[in-house]
Amino acid sequence: MSTETLIYIIIAGIAALLIALFHYIYKSKQTKLNIVFAFLRFLTVFLILLLLINPKFEKNTIYTEKPRLAIALDNSESILHLKQQANLKSVLNSLEQNSLLNQKFDIDYFSFGNTVKSLDSLSFSKKQTNVASVFNNFNQIYKNKTAPTIIITDGNQTFGTDYEFTANKYNQTIYPIILGDTIIHSDLRLQQLNVNKYVFLKNKFTVEMLVVYSGNATVKSKVQIASGNSVLFSKALEFSKANNSHSVTAIIDTKRVGVQVYNASILPLEIEENKTNNSKQFAIEVIDEKTNIALISAILHPDLGALKKAIENNQQRSVSILKPSEFLNSNEDYQLAILYQPNSSFKSVYERVNSIGINKFVITGTQTQWSFLNQSQSYYNQEITGQLEDYQPSLNSGYNTFNIEEFDFNNYPPLSSEFGKLKFNVPIETILYKTINTSVTEEPLLVTFEDNQRRESILTGEHIWKWRAQSFVNTNSFENFDNFIGKLVQYLGSSKRKSRLVVDYNSFYEGNENIVINAQYFNKNYEFEKDSKINIALVNSESEAQYKLPMIPNNTNYSVSLKDLKPGSYNFSVTVNNNEFKRSGSFTLLEYNVEKQFLNANVAKLQEVATNSSGMSFFYNEVDSLVEQLLEDNKYIAIQKSSKKIVPLIDFKYLLFLIAISLSLEWFLRKYNGLI
């Protein structure tokens, strides 16, 4: 408490005393109760003044903080496949019922498959295992805390970053409990298969296969690729303990358009226990046309390479980077022209593009000649200031021409362009707004518009290559940025009239992939309708099993997640408001369960993770040894801590109670003695 506050309290006490003496000693008739009345009045006034001064006091709280113990349990299908579910539950039961362990630690239980969540129940139904996500999540949860970690798993990861690398960045001691058989069985497996998703009609495509053998004897087998009952490729292989892997390349012809399903396999040995990992289905989509795009620029810039890579990520598209003169001399049939920072040398380019009637994507920046661009078209006009400005993007969640909901532009670097107001003479739909100093403006950064069946887009900023780099920093992949550019190019590459019902889906899905189908429905003014009733009906082509599900609305589309579908071909139809509008399609779900590819626990990797973290690994029948290790380790002790808080007097609610009691008692005594 400060000296100034103490002086105020003394003054308050003196003032309260003077008021009480004035009322009951100086001005009042002398009675035996005057001293009582004076005391009650003094108490009331002093407490009220004390609350007004509101002095602050230090409050010290002493408490004991136990170390945390994080326990993560593998809830994937591989535990079921290796028949380890009973062992896992036995380990969990032993840990839960150990009173000494619970007394020493505050224990948190988690389960994981491809993601981590608090333990609710164990179903062993997760189709992917991401052990790395355990350490990534725990790094945030137990930051600046002591939290040894027990991970109960077979150590077989099917998704995500290598967990051995992630565990090296985890600042807690790790104690793996290993589930599974450690005996090495003779086994042939198709370890890896690489193939492109798309191929053009009458072209050949390449399939790369890595076949691995586990065992000591010398064995022979045959790798082959089949389509239905027809074997398209076959090659004999020999394996031994020393020569235990082969990389095989096959070249296959395409003969018809559409999704083609193939089966790659290595013929199993007679003594093999796990034959699930001997084969894998894959599919390609055969297409008979390609979108050719002209990327026209008079300057060299990193944006050109970033755009080319992003667009050509979809093999149905080809990008040619051309100078204006090269575009004019080209005889190629282009479906879209991207005009990068146009200047006066683009005059004939604009005339050619307008004459052949293809759509445009205009990108402006610090080297754009706006005086030329303003005169070359009538859709928009830029105020010419000669000043430059940096703009960060802000996604317009209300954009509904195509689905952009899954894209995230947070923390993306700014783009540079000329400062000034851009006025449009046609209706536009804004994808990205300009943000200056964290304030979102009404100025568009990226827009699309349509006029007389022609589509156009304009991006007012250069350095888009930085966005592609930031996408990789955020997600360890260029996919987010490439998909965004791909959807924009897909929209601009077509001149078809916008449908009121648009369905977004893939032609085929891997067996362990989450199947999500999106739909958008628009009213007559092509405004997104969020209150419609949209359903999807699916039929399995082989079994004729039928499914009907509602599609759930959000800000920009309707979506449905299709889980637990059996592999096969499916036809589906999306209907709006009882068949007011209808769209149909089909997709193929490939048969593949990555969780069933393993025969053994990954003992070596789990032991390495434990050693690198200064921990120890244990098998499922050594739980008592682990518990003993944790109980005896002096690193994990409870810590007594004190907490100092500054508490204002007004927080002491009993003072109000004292004031009420004092006033009530004074009134009651005065009333009882006839003084009121």
Identify the CA nearest to 402 among candidates 531, 490, 516, 493. 490
Please give the pLDDT value at position 467: 93
State how far the Cα of 564 lies from the Cα of 567, in Å rounded to an integer: 9
Please give the pLDDT value at position 458: 95
Amino acid at position 361, single letter: F
Phi-psi region of 282 (alpha: psi -120 to 50; beta: other; left: phi over 0): beta
Residue linked to tokens 């103490």:
6
Q: Which distant-in-sequence residues (6+ apart) come within 8 Å of 55 by Cβ?
A: 1, 5, 8, 9, 648, 649
What does 102-168 look like in DSSP terms, one character per residue? HHH-EEEEEEESSSEEE-------BS---HHHHHHHHHHHTTTS---EEEEE-----SSS-HHHHHT
Pairing of strands 219-227, 230-239: antiparallel
Residues 364 and 380 sit within 8 Å (Cβ to Cβ) = no
Helices marked H in 535-622: 603-612
Please give the pLDDT value at position 613: 93
Measured distance between the N- and C-terminal CA atoms of the chain, rounded to whole angstroms: 41
β-bridge mates for residue 434, sequence order: 393
Domains of the chain by start residue, with CATH: 3-59+644-672 (no CATH), 67-183+600-637 (3.40.50.410), 187-287 (2.60.40.10), 291-492 (3.40.50.20), 501-594 (2.60.40.2950)
Please give the pLDDT value at position 27: 65
pTM for this entry = 0.53
pLDDT by 10-residue block (mean), the chain, 676 residues: 78 83 71 78 84 75 83 92 91 94 94 92 88 93 91 90 91 93 77 84 87 88 91 93 91 86 89 81 80 92 94 87 92 89 93 89 94 92 89 85 76 90 91 84 90 88 93 88 90 73 84 82 74 91 90 86 86 88 87 71 91 93 93 86 70 76 82 71
Helix, strand and coil content of the chain, in percent to the nearest 5, comes to: 30, 35, 35
Please give the pLDDT value at position 515: 87
Instruction: Measure CA 318 to chain center.
Output: 30
Please give the pLDDT value at position 490: 85
Please give the pLDDT value at position 650: 66
Please give the pLDDT value at position 299: 93
Please classify residue 311 by burial: count the beta carbons closer than 10 Å to its beta carbon, then call 0-12 exposed, 13-18 middle and 19+ buried. buried
Residues 537 and 550 sit within 8 Å (Cβ to Cβ) = no
Identify the CA nearest to 152 among candidates 76, 96, 73, 231. 73
- Tokens at 201, concatenated: 């009609």
Please give the pLDDT value at position 654: 74
Please give the pLDDT value at position 346: 94
Please give the pLDDT value at position 91: 94
Pairing of strands 380-382, 422-424: antiparallel
Residues 586 and 508 sit within 8 Å (Cβ to Cβ) = no
